[in-house]
């Protein structure tokens, strides 16, 4: 039996409707490709595993008794994958026609390519800035902070997001979003899987950096288009996800950036990360309270 060209690995946690749509789009995207779909379900309670068994019997379903998170979940799925290449794909995505073939074609034609990523689109069809440069100190300070909101088009943030590029050409980039990243099997074996110290968030930038340090290149492939409905899993638990995001940022800093700072100042970025976390948590709490008050008011009318 011929080896699959591509193993599409999806980690799911309570996103049944999105997952159904994602798998359907994958299976209809490139008829000429030999595909394998592997789903690792993180102890969902919404009937996702049952839906897969009923509607997609060809899908290789792995069930975890606990929520392993994204990094560990993708590693488990990749362990079971048999394809020449591996696509890590979020369940809140819709693969457009020929998108997967374009990614496989890039990896097959460029032997220096360790990974290839599609043009990610928002739900309304606009571009997501899903390929970026490695963040510098100024971008970290100005990105998603009060200071940055006063100057949203500052050159440091635009440079980090690659916002001055039209995203219409194939290009080597520093890192790409883990919402959809196609990885050469040889690169995955050499570099290793995602760092399981990240429950979710930052495992993608960490892996891309390690791949480049091993001599591989990361490519952005605009001919491949995938719609990404951001945050369908994380929005179910906003407060813990805020904490998890900042914990991942702190871990990434310690692993790759701390050594660049003078020994006596290495605590400053970490303090900044957790100060930002406190602000975002407060904003999230206020937004949730306003939402509850609004719903209470509407029921009282």
- Band of pLDDT at residue 241, cut at 50, 70 and 90: confident
Average pLDDT over residues 85-111: 97
Bigger pLDDT: 236 vs 242: 242
For tokens 């001055």, the residue is 164
Average pLDDT over residues 203-226: 96
pLDDT of 298: 56
DSSP classification of residue 31? T
pLDDT of 161: 74
Average pLDDT over residues 220-248: 80
Structure tokens, 123: 């739900």
Average pLDDT over residues 125-153: 68
Average pLDDT over residues 253-273: 76
pLDDT of 141: 56
Contact 46, 18 (CB under 8 A): no
pLDDT of 266: 74
Q: Is 272 left (phi over 0), alpha (psi -120 to 50) or beta?
A: alpha
Contact 219, 110 (CB under 8 A): yes
CA–CA distance, 26 with 244 (Å, rounded to integer): 29
Phi, psi of 266 (to 5 degrees): -65, -20
Q: Is the pLDDT of residue 207 over 80?
A: yes
Domain ranges of the chain: 6-127+167-229, 236-300
pLDDT of 246: 78
Its CATH architecture, for the domain 6-127+167-229, is: Alpha-Beta Complex (3.90)
pLDDT of 179: 95
For tokens 């008829």, the residue is 31
97-101, 146-150, 261-265, 285-289: which is most confident = 97-101
Contact 8, 37 (CB under 8 A): yes
pLDDT of 296: 67
Q: Is the pLDDT of residue 154 over 70?
A: no
Predicted TM-score of the model (pTM): 0.84
Of 12, 30, 18, which is closest to residue 77 (Cα–Cα)?
12
Q: Is the pLDDT of residue 236 over 80?
A: no
pLDDT of 148: 53
pLDDT of 147: 54
pLDDT of 135: 72
Q: Where are the alpha helices (DSSP H) in 28-145?
A: 48-55, 69-80, 99-109, 137-142
pLDDT in tens, 3-21: 999 999 999 999 999 999 9
44-53, 141-150, 155-164, 237-246: which is most confident = 44-53
- Band of pLDDT at residue 300, cut at 50, 70 and 90: low
In angstroms, how far apart are the furthest CA atoms of the chain? 65
């Amino acid at each position: 039996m011929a080896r699959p060209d591509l193993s599409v690995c999806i980690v799911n946690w309570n996103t049944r409707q999105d997952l159904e749509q994602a798998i359907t789009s994958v299976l209809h995207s490139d008829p000429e490709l030999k595909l394998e779909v592997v789903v690792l379900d993180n102890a969902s309670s919404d009937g996702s595993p049952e839906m897969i068994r009923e509607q997609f019997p060809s899908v290789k379903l792995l069930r975890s008794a606990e929520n392993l998170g994204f990094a560990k979940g993708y590693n488990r799925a990749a362990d079971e994958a048999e394809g020449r290449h591996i696509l890590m794909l979020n369940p809140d995505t819709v693969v457009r026609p020929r998108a997967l073939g374009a990614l496989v074609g890039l990896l097959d034609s460029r032997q220096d390519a360790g990974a290839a990523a599609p043009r990610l689109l928002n739900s309304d069809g606009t571009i997501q800035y899903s390929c970026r440069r490695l963040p510098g100190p100024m971008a970290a300070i100005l990105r998603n902070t009060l200071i940055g909101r006063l100057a949203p088009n500052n050159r440091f943030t635009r440079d980090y997001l690659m916002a001055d590029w039209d995203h219409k050409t194939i290009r080597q980039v520093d890192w790409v979003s883990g919402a959809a990243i196609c990885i050469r099997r040889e690169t995955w074996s050499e570099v290793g899987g995602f760092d399981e110290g990240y429950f979710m968030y930052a495992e993608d930038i960490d892996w891309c950096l390690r791949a480049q340090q091993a001599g591989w290149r990361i490519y952005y492939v605009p001919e491949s288009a995938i719609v990404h409905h951001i945050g369908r899993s994380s929005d179910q638990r906003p407060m813990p996800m805020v904490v998890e995001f900042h914990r991942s940022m702190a871990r990434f800093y310690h692993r790759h950036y701390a050594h660049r700072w003078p020994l006596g100042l290495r605590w400053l970025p970490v303090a900044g990360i957790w100060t930002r976390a406190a602000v975002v948590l407060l904003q999230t709490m206020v937004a949730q309270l306003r939402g509850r008050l609004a719903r209470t008011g509407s029921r009282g009318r």
